[in-house]
Amino acid sequence: MAQANIIGNGKGMQAGDRDESSGAPTQNDSGHDPSGHDQPVDGKPTPRRRRRSARSRGLRFDRMVTEQGVDPLDEVLLEKRTSVITNPDGSVVFKMEGAEIPAEWSQLATDIVVSKYFRKAGLYGDKEQSETSVRQIVYRIAHTIREAGERFGGYFASTEDADTFEAELSYFLVHQYGAFNSPVWFNCGLWHEYDIKGAGGNFAWNPTAKADGPNEIFEIDNAYERPQCSACFIQSVDDDLMSIYDLVKSEARLFKYGSGTGTNFSAIRGRQEKLSGGGTSSGLMSFLEVFDRAAGATKSGGTTRRAAKMVCLDMDHPEIEDFINWKVLEEKKAKALIAAGYPSDFNGEAYHTVSGQNSNNSLRIKDDFLQAATLSSGGATPPSPTSSAAEPSDVWHTRARTTGEVVETHSASNLWSQIAQAAWECADPGMQYDTTINQWHTCPNTDRIRASNPCSEFMFLDNSACNLASLNLTKFIVESPEDDEKTSRAPVMNVELYQHASRVFTSAMEILIDLSSYPTPAIAKTSHDYRPVGLGYANLGTLLMRMGLSYNSDEGRAVAGSLTAIMCASAYETSAQIAS
């Protein structure tokens, strides 16, 4: 079996370390090439780490993939390409000829960046002028982030370090070592580089205001001056009509700029409950249909992708059974329409007619429900809702949002069977294990985690946002230095370059937090205070295959665990350095 190897000394980018003897930058340490370079990486020399002075404020960045005085974007081989996006029937949705694309990029990457991320109009006030080159989009992102870091202060120890950061980030982006989440590509730099102004209404952090003061968070009048750069949002909603429609509005604002959002709707009373004026509530499901229609009508970032949305619901909500089977029933309606002759594709009339097609649905399940669901009632009489008996029971009560009283009594195992059947029929609802999630809470003394973003990789407080980026693992593969009859020439990972990239992207996302704007003051405040960022990796399966390792193997899991630990430590270290 091929061995999975990792090279590098594991020290990473120790930008905050100091020469304890003098506090001055270390020069020409013994054992190193006096030119200041170590082993080559991708044909480029790997520089030794510069250490910052004890008195310097901000991070030092070293060049590992670029050279001083050389713009990495000038070194990229670009070629003219055509991108065409079509509907299932062959009709053209989008076409662009003559786009400048790096020669190493695939046609799929070309279609994505041209159709989704190129700004199509409005450059420098000209409604006919659009972006035509990957060079333009990478520059507007990297340069805008660099300038924001300098403007906020404390991110770069010197102008040289800012230059290095921008060059290294540009190289990583244009050569596909890493990528930000979509809203960065959509929005970042449009005002700063092209003078494109967006509508107001979002909220941002004020760097000149007193912390926690009345003006710390303010409403902006230009959405692109403080662009929406986070992809993942979690929002809250109250059992109040105006709160419900405020959420519709803030969701629309998120979708407009290419982001996705999740909400736990358990606070909204069920159809079995009374209104304060004496009538009966229309119920949660009626409002979920409103949100579903609004999401379906919105195309994120002005592209062909629909809005991204997550709906979460606690297992004790009065309408839990309706929620579990919502998509099952709608699928049956769609199948009936298809059988009657309507088109069967997802964008056709059949699915457009039914509800529930524009969100991921998830159940928030605590351990007490799981314990109840694994028991069989055995025909025993369910205990009364007021029973204080502590014996395990298959009984599950739903409770009123307004009073906490029991509304309905179910068999937990029967609900469990309905969940399994629904997931089998239409892949929803998913399950979020609420007890475990809150046991792993990174800020447990704040509030409970109640929901997630649409893809569920971000689970945090209500009214929060997360900026994401991903590193392409296959770009960090180098050939093994070992080459003899006894050892196969297996690919290995360059850990120092991987750590360096983790550090560059973590720093960039930290800057983006305060450069960005958000749909509500609460999200802007939470983002500034807690600073959630999500750094991950892509192409793990490809990496393991190239290493000759099975995905489901101890060796494969060891590689994945090691890469995750290295990335996590590098990101934590960088965040600590920025905080200090």
β-pairing, 491-494 with 477-479? antiparallel
Alpha helices by DSSP H, 340-467: 349-353, 367-373, 412-426, 434-439
Cis before 102 (ω within 30): no
Q: How many residues does the chain have?
A: 580
Q: How far apart are CA 264 and CA 285, in angstroms?
A: 13
In this structure, the number of other CB atoms found within 10 A of the CB of residue 23 comes to: 13
If you search the block for the tokens 């390409």, which residue do you land on?
81
CB-based burial label for 76 (10 Å; 0-12, 13-18, 19+): buried
Q: How far apart are CA 577 and CA 326, in angstroms?
A: 48
Contact present, 291 and 320 (Cβ < 8 Å): no
Is position 455 annotated as part of the catalytic site? yes
Amino acid found at 56: S
Active-site choice (206, 222, 408, 455): 455
Contacts of 256 (CB under 8 A, 6+ apart): 298, 300, 301, 302
Beta bridge partners of 408: 398
Q: Is 16 left (phi over 0), alpha (psi -120 to 50) or beta?
A: alpha
Q: How far apart are CA 229 and CA 118, in angstroms?
A: 16
Is position 273 annotated as part of the catalytic site? no
Q: Which one, of 134, 128, 165, lies nearest residue 147 by Cα? A: 165
Is position 467 annotated as part of the catalytic site? no
**Crossing angle (nearest 10°) for helices 540-547 and 554-579:** 130
DSSP type of residue 380: P
If you search the block for the tokens 């950061």, which residue do you land on?
165
The enclosing H or E element of 522 equals: helix 521-530
Active-site choice (202, 453, 472, 494): 453
> What's the CA angle centered on 375, arms 439 and 390, to 5 degrees?
70
Active-site choice (457, 479, 482, 568): 457
Q: How far apart are CA 363 and CA 452, in angstroms?
A: 11
Q: Which one, of 274, 278, 286, lies nearest residue 319 by Cα? A: 286
Q: How far apart are CA 362 and CA 496, in angstroms?
A: 39
3-state secondary structure of 228: coil
Residue positions annotated with a catalytic role: 453, 455, 457
